């Protein structure tokens, strides 16, 4: 038998294991998604907000109220209501917003790119600064540099983010004028930009509108830096912990005995192993920025998912709140799965265990 046939036979023998992994992955996603639907459905039923009054108003007649009650399916048993909710969610129908009178999927598709742009800029800044600072803190453990980095991180994840946002606006916008104010783009440019992707930095660059591009960047700089600082504090702390654990391993001691350069030990050997759990930290930080930037978006009047959920909650628009909550849960699940896949790519030991 030739080597090609042997290789092909090995692939065929590995096929059942690959199919089993795929079925396991799909089952995990399905169960998680079902759990999210159950949680959001229960929240919608226990929250002390009357969905009928949110639709018809508190001055509607009893006949109008009863008609809306039946139209919303609230007269049916809970299990029937959940089946209807499940079918609608599976078909992509999250209901209609009481506030905007539009399908919630359309609303989320409209506001989510703003949050995506802000969170992506924040996690890029947090990773670019957080990982090197964490490595430096681990290498200089107990020294002055390590103490300074730890204090910076402590302030980052302890100070209220809305307070930092207001302080940043006062100093860098009102006093120094280094950045643009609240909002995503000045009204002078808003209607001249065609939103193709919804990401204004990309859209303005693609259309060659460089004045608008720099205006968008000026608006993005402060809130993105704030979220970047917030994520940097967590990423640097976890990077420091992972690197300290790796630098104490026997293979590091052996490499030093063999005379391997210190920079290579730190940036190649130790960081390579620390990068595996660090991927999950960065992925979860990114998910946290995508769903946890409510206060930041409120302070900076940023028209994203966080502000949309805040306005919906203030107006008792529970369909929109639950739809947004479901989308956030899906984001968390998706980023977790992505980090697991990257785990397998970076660490062969994970592939062998699965």
In a domain, residue 51? The reply is no
Residue 198 is assigned to a structural domain of this protein? yes
- Give the pTM: 0.81
In a domain, 189, yes or no: yes
pLDDT greater than 90 at residue 39: no
**Domain span holding position 218:** 110-353
- Does residue 92 form part of some domain? no
Report how far residue 46's alpha carbon sits from residue 322's, in angstroms, rounded to the nearest whole number.
Answer: 12
Asked which of 3-12, 23-32, 190-199 is least confident by mean pLDDT, the reply is 3-12
Handedness of CA 272, 274, 279, 282 (dihedral sign): negative
Confidence of residue 12 (pLDDT cuts 50, 70, 90): low
Using only C-alpha atoms, the chain has a radius of gyration, in whole angstroms, of 25
- pLDDT exceeds cutoff 70 at 95: yes
CB atoms within 10 A of CB 292: 16
* Residue 35 covered by a domain: no
Please check whether residue 279 lies inside any domain of the structure.
yes
Tens digits of residue pLDDT in 159-210: 888 888 889 999 999 888 888 888 888 888 888 888 888 888 999 999 989 9
CATH code: domain of residue 122:
1.10.3720.10
Instruction: Output the pLDDT for position 345.
Output: 66
Query: Which has the closest alpha carbon to 322: 27, 30, 42, 11?
Result: 42
65: in domain = no
Q: How confident is the model at residue 221 (pLDDT cuts 50, 70, 90)?
A: very high
| pLDDT at 118 > cutoff 90 | yes
Average pLDDT estimate for 214-234: 92
The fraction of the chain above a pLDDT of 90, given in percent, is 17
What whole-number distance in Å separates Cα of residue 222 and Cα of residue 178? Answer: 9
Mean pLDDT, residues 96-121: 88
Q: Check pLDDT > 70 for residue 13.
A: no
Total structural domains in the chain? 1
């Amino acid at each position: 038998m030739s080597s090609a046939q042997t290789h092909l036979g090995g692939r065929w023998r590995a096929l059942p294991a690959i199919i089993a992994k795929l079925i396991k992955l799909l089952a995990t996603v399905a169960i998680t998604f079902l759990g999210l639907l159950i949680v959001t459905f229960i929240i919608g039923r226990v929250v002390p907000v009357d969905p009928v009054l949110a639709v018809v108003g508190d001055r509607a007649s009893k006949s109008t109220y009863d008609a809306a009650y039946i139209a919303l399916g609230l007269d049916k048993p809970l299990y029937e209501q959940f089946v209807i909710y499940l079918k609608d969610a599976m078909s992509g129908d999250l209901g209609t917003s009481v506030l905007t009178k539009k399908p919630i999927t359309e609303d989320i598709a409209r506001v989510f790119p703003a949050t995506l742009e802000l969170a992506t800029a924040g996690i890029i800044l947090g990773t670019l600064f957080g990982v090197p600072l964490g490595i430096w803190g681990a290498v200089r453990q107990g020294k002055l540099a390590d103490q300074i980095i730890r204090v910076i991180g402590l302030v980052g994840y302890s100070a209220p983010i809305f307070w930092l946002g207001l302080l940043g606006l006062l100093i860098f916008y009102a006093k120094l004028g280094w950045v643009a104010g609240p909002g995503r783009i000045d009204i002078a440019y808003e209607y001249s930009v065609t939103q193709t992707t919804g990401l204004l930095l990309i859209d303005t660059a693609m259309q060659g509108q460089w004045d608008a591009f720099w205006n968008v960047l000026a608006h993005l700089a402060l809130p993105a830096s704030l979220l970047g600082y917030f994520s940097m504090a967590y990423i640097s702390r976890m990077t420091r912990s992972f690197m300290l654990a790796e630098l104490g391993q026997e293979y590091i001691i052996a490499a030093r005995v063999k005379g391997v350069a210190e920079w290579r030990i730190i940036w190649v050997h130790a960081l390579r192993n620390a990068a595996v759990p660090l991927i999950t930290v960065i992925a979860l930080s990114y998910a946290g920025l995508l769903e946890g930037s409510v206060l930041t978006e409120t302070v900076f009047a940023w028209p994203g998912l966080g502000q949309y959920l805040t306005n919906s909650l203030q107006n008792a628009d529970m369909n929109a709140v639950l739809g947004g909550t479901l989308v956030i849960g899906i984001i968390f699940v998706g980023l977790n799965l992505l980090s697991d896949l990257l785990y397998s790519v970076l660490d062969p030991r994970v592939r062998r265990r699965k």
